Structure 1
Amino acid sequence: MEAFLTSTAVVTLAEIGDKTQLLAIVLATQFRRPVPIILGIFAATVANHFLAALVGSQVASILDGQWFRYIVAISFIAMAAWTLIPDKLDDDMESKPARFGAFLTTTIAFFLVEMGDKTQIATVALGAQFENIFYVTLGTTLGMMLANVPAVFLGHELIKRVPLNVVRMIAALLFLAIGLWLLVQTAGWFG
């Protein structure tokens, strides 16, 4: 259950103001059909985050050792710093006309944009930390949906009203806390 709750919280906060959330807003304004967009976000996220959690879990099982736990902890601390850097959607993505319908366009775009994104990297780290592909994927997918579904429905209004700097700070603090906790656990300072 810890894997699920931590994964949900980390990705929900990290996704606020992320380029995939901006993509959700762009797609919502372009297609004006929320259900296919939401289903496309869900499909892309399940596929992408399952693979990321699988990679993290497999790497953790192969490289199980104290030094690897230090690397995972440091990766969370690095994610804290990365979270403070605002994302922006590439200008050329907004101007391209869609070849396919809302669902397929969203699925493909979200899957590709999520590659190498901080939420995907966080999912790899969470998979390595918890070694539970199912709960990490479930949690990170829920986190993506919690952050992106309101963006689909509320679009630009949401971005105007949510103080993104505060949300970025909270997400960064969460990543930092997880990283520091893992360092403390690995070093054996508290039991």
Structure 2
Amino acid sequence: MSPFLVSTGVVALAEIGDKTQLLSLVLAARFRKPVPIILGIFASTLLNHAGAGAVGQWLATAISPQIMRWAIVASFLSMAIWILVPDKLDEDESATRRHWGVFGTTVVTFFLAEMGDKTQIATVMLAARFHDFVGVVAGTTLGMMLANVPAVLLGHKFADRLPTRAVHAVAAVIFAVLGVLAIVQG
């Protein structure tokens, strides 16, 4: 099977219920502008996965599994704290939009959320295994889009019905639990 198809399938499945899919939903509910959010997710994913693919073989051999595990734990716990920040930003949303805009905010937050995420790690491993940079990066990017575009479209459609503070609180708890599980399962 081609690296493109394997990469698309693996990442699309790994992304279901992932923190970046939840972030897509939160961004859609907050900004209610699906097109710049989708374009931001695409740009961020392409950038992130290109970097992951470029260093895939090197990272696979240079970083021990224990260090990688702690990086994942730090990522989950950081996201648990970060996801609570939008409560404060909701009060000053217009300043945030003027500063970075919806597209820029999406690119930055999605890129940071993807750091150390399982789909980024999958991209590293797939690039190391297949030695097909273009096929793997294109496949993992498509997989991310297949999983996140529906979340953006549904989040935008139901934004008026979503209690934003409750979504943020639930997301923070989920990220904290994932961080603790990563420590425990070590």
Residue 19, structure 1, aligned to residue 19, structure 2: yes
Aligned pairs (5 A) from 1:17-166: 17-58=17-58, 90-95=82-87, 96=89, 97=93, 98=96, 99-155=99-155
Uncovered stretches (5+) of structure 1, i.e. residues with no partner: 69-73, 79-87, 158-191
Matches of 1:146 and 1:102 in 2, distance apart? 21
Output one character per residue of 1:143-171: Cα deviation in whole Å (capped at 9) or x when no partner: 000000000001297xxxxxxxxxxxxxx
CA contact (8 A) 1:3 1:130 kept: yes
Matches of 1:33 and 1:106 in 2, distance apart? 11
Residue 10 (structure 1) aligns with: 10
Q: Output the TM-score relative to the length of structure 2.
A: 0.66
Q: Output the TM-score relative to the length of structure 1.
A: 0.64
Matches of 1:29 and 1:59 in 2, distance apart? 36
Following TM superposition, by how much is the alpha carbon of 1:56 offset from its aligned partner in structure 2, in angstroms?
1.0
Change (3 A) 1:13 1:109: same
Following TM superposition, by how much is the alpha carbon of 1:101 offset from its aligned partner in structure 2, in angstroms?
1.1
Identity of matched residues, %: 59
Following TM superposition, by how much is the alpha carbon of 1:19 offset from its aligned partner in structure 2, in angstroms?
0.7
Higher helix fraction (1 or 2): 2
CA contact (8 A) 2:59 2:124 kept: no
